[in-house]
Amino acid sequence: MRPLSGASIRVPGRKTYLKYRLDVEPPAARARAGTTRHPSTHGRIETVTSPHVPSVPVDAVPSEFDSGAPSPADGPRAILLDVREDDEWQLGHAPGAVHIPMVDVPARVDELDYDVDLYVICRQGGRSLQVVEYLTHIGFDAIQVNGGMVAWQQAGRPLVADGDRQAKIY
């Protein structure tokens, strides 16, 4: 039997959907195959989305974030806000991203521009979903990037890392 793939579940009490992959066969399939041992791997969450939060796939994010070049003289048209933790940022990030960890967003909201689109990204979508909900509540035009930096890397979008190491997300 083929492993389950691409299923979605609804989180009780929230209007949030988790897209996950199950890389192992379900118990019934193991029983039919005569295997009773539980596998050591479990399903993994690939993306977190909500029908009430504006979101776009990675390929719809403007290419201006693919380089670390400074914004035009008239200012940026959009901001890619990376809300991952410092250690995640150091391993790899989009060249044109602005880094504000999720827990710091309320205190540093004055660093953001109300007149531009904010593309919010994290590792897979859970934190960016919450930040987009908060930012839209206080008046920003915020958009979640589906799949986060994992999808960014899978799509072949450029990455940079701090120091001399090679950038990678997973």
- Long-range contact pairs involving 164-169 (C-beta distance under 8 Å, separation at least 24): 165/91, 167/91, 167/92, 167/93, 168/91, 168/92, 169/91, 169/92, 169/123
Which amino acid type is present at position 58? V
What pTM value is reported for the model?
0.73
Closest alpha carbon to 169 in 133, 121, 118: 121
Residue-wise pLDDT for 59-117, tens only, equals 999 999 998 766 666 667 899 999 999 999 999 999 999 999 999 999 999 999 999 99
Q: Is the pLDDT of residue 40 over 80?
A: no
CA-to-CA distance for 140 and 54, rounded, in angstroms? 12
- Residue 128 and residue 54 in contact, taking contact as beta carbons nearer than 8 Å: no
Token code pair at residue 102: 């999720």
Mind telling me the catalytic residues?
122
